[in-house]
């Protein structure tokens, strides 16, 4: 990792981390050597590939090592100071620190560090909103009965209310996430849902169109946030739209939390001052362990605090400890430098594509990701993703608005800059990355399958993969991953 990454990445730090990992791998090897070998191989693979998946990053050795401790052995259902298991005082310390760092980093009134993932964080948020907006008033309407004295008829009435609420989120093909009401996901099954999209001409969110849809549908929850929308969002405007119909405004900032933490997104573009509830993952642009967080106003905090047992099982104490370490890193001045570089590098990558006549959804970016329409190369997203992987460039295919190839084969490739920015890539390197991507796609042709035209089969011109891998290796060697770390 480079000077733009976690604090303290000097020679002494690298030597200490190397010693720790070598010792850990020897212990693992004594029990299951194949796991130790796969672990070494994974580091080698990551060191020798251009990782451009927008939802991936590289956590610091301190964050990674924090997860491998005896906190993994603890059951700790409940909340700080109120556990259903004994001897959780150290878990209380860990969870309290993770929440404290999250509150301070994002300027939130309340933070909940237990969710195991972004999907878990969203489920906690949805049920907390239902409990606050529907369940509690519903119980009040049933009279003064204790919750344990409610009849089956009482519960049937309450279940009918909980199961008939409305949610509106961004559609999957215009950049939203499957947990924002996509039918195959639980969010699309637990709510009566409708989706808003983007302007078909520009690809940008049309706030007047969103407002009109919200007025007509009147959702209980309005969700903003994205996984493949390459532009910033005016969260102040979205809150106004939610308030007009009395909706709870929820933001899923899993993808861009690092840009919020690093103060790249401020004012109307910072969701925390405007949303009732904000969810996020702690990896991606935040560069922590795989996990989730929920931030909330005081109104929703009591219900969020019941995430376990409402939705979650026992919290992963070792991961909460790693969240605390990552959030502490993100509070350092160096992280703001990193976050700004992520956004600047995305602009450089987009510019590199545009000047080579590649077609981008919305024509560019002003966040951390770029969405490339590969139909101009005559390819599906599946074909493009595979050809790039053959050439040492790791990406993921992604749907584009009104995608003719659907969510599996897709017509787009999503690129993100957080991981390579962690390695030290700058504007020149990302321009070169754009050049290599265009070279691969320009030398890829669709191929027929055994039954005719195929959306997955392709041919890559001879020598292209080797040539691009060699060029990528030069970039990677100049910007090593975990420099000085030897296994």
- The reply, when asked if residue 178 is annotated as ligand binding, is yes
The catalytically annotated residue of 83, 133, 290, 382 is 290
- 252 in catalytic set: yes
Q: What is the dihedral of CA 445, 446, 448, 454, to 10 degrees?
A: 170
Cβ(188)–Cβ(181) under 8 Å? yes
Q: Is 281 a catalytic residue?
A: yes
In whole angstroms, what is the distance from residue 361 CA to residue 230 CA?
A: 8
Whether the Cβ atoms of residue 174 and residue 197 lie closer than 8 Å to each other: yes
Give the pLDDT confidence score for residue 147 in this predicted structure.
64
Is 77 assigned a catalytic role?
A: yes
Can you say how many angstroms the Cα of residue 23 is from the centroid of all Cα atoms in its chain?
Answer: 32
The reply to whether 167 sits in an annotated binding site is: no
The predicted structure's pLDDT at residue 374 = 98
Q: Is residue 75 flagged as an active site residue?
A: yes
- Structure confidence at residue 187 (pLDDT): 85
Give whole-number Cα distances, 239 to 31, 234, 271, 284, in Å: 54, 9, 9, 25
The sign one gets for the Cα dihedral 211, 217, 220, 226 is: negative
Active-site position among 4, 66, 280, 281: 281
Tell whether 329 is in a known binding site. no
| Domains, the chain, with CATH or none | 72-330 (3.40.640.10), 335-478 (3.90.1150.10)
177 is in an annotated binding site: yes
- Count how many Cα atoms sit within 13 Å of the Cα of residue 199 in the half-sphere of its side chain: 10
How confident is the prediction along the chain (487 residues), in pLDDT tens digits per residue? 443 443 345 567 788 999 999 999 999 999 999 999 999 999 999 999 999 999 999 999 999 999 999 999 999 999 999 999 999 999 999 999 999 999 999 999 999 999 999 999 999 999 999 999 998 887 677 666 666 777 888 878 878 888 889 999 999 999 999 888 888 888 888 899 999 999 999 999 999 999 999 999 999 999 999 999 999 999 999 999 999 999 999 999 999 999 999 999 999 999 999 999 999 999 999 999 999 999 999 999 999 999 998 899 999 999 999 999 999 999 999 999 999 999 999 999 999 999 999 999 999 999 999 999 999 999 999 999 999 999 999 999 999 999 999 999 999 999 999 999 999 999 999 999 999 999 999 999 999 988 888 999 999 999 999 999 999 999 999 999 999 899 8
116 annotated to bind ligand = no
Catalytic pick among 29, 75, 100, 268: 75
């Amino acid at each position: 990792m480079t000077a733009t990454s976690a604090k303290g990445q000097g020679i002494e730090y690298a030597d200490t981390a190397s010693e720790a990992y070598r010792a850990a791998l020897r212990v693992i090897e004594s029990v299951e050597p194949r796991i130790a070998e796969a672990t070494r191989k994974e580091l080698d693979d990551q060191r020798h590939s251009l990782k451009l998946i927008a939802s991936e990053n590289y956590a610091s050795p301190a964050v990674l090592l924090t997860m491998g401790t005896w906190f993994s052995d603890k059951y700790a259902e409940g909340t700080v100071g109120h556990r259903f298991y004994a001897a959780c005082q150290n878990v209380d310390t860990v969870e309290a620190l993770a929440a404290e760092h999250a509150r301070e980093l994002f300027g939130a009134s309340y933070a909940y560090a237990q969710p195991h993932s972004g999907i878990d964080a969203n489920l906690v948020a949805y049920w907390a909103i239902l409990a606050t907006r529907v369940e509690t008033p519903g119980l009040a309407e049933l009279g003064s009965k204790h919750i344990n004295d409610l009849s089956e008829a009482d519960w049937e009435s309450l279940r009918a209310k909980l199961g008939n609420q409305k949610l509106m989120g961004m559609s999957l093909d215009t950049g939203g996430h499957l947990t924002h009401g996509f039918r195959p996901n639980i969010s699309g099954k637990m709510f009566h849902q409708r989706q808003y999209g983007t302007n078909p001409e520009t690809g940008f969110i049309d706030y007047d169109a969103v407002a009109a849809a919200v007025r007509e549908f009147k959702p209980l929850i309005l969700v903003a946030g994205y996984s493949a929308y390459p532009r910033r969002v005016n969260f102040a405007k979205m809150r106004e739209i939610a308030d007009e119909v009395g909706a709870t405004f929820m933001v899923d900032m899993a993808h861009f939390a690092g840009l919020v933490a690093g103060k790249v997104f401020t004012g109307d573009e910072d969701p925390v001052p405007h949303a009732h509830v904000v969810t996020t993952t702690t990896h991606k642009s935040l560069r922590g362990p795989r996990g989730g967080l929920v931030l909330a106003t005081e109104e929703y905090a009591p219900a969020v605090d019941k995430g376990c047992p409402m939705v979650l099982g026992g919290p992963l104490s070792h991961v909460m400890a790693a969240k605390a370490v990552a959030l502490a890193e993100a509070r350092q001045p160096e992280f703001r430098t990193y976050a700004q570089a992520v956004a600047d590098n995305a602009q450089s990558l987009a510019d590199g594509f545009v000047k080579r006549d590649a077609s981008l959804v919305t024509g560019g970016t002003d966040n951390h990701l770029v969405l490339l329409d590969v139909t101009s190369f005559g390819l599906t997203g599946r074909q493009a993703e595979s050809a790039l992987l053959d050439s040492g460039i790791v990406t993921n295919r992604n749907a584009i608005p009104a995608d003719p190839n659907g969510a599996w084969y897709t017509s787009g490739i999503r690129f993100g800059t957080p991981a390579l920015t962690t390695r030290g890539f700058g504007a020149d390197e990302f321009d070169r990355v754009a050049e290599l991507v265009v070279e691969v796609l320009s030398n890829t042709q669709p191929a027929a399958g055994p039954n005719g035209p195929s959306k997955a089969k392709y041919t890559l011109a001879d020598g292209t993969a080797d040539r691009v891998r060699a060029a990528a290796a030069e970039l990677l060697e100049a910007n090593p991953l975990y420099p000085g770390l030897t296994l």
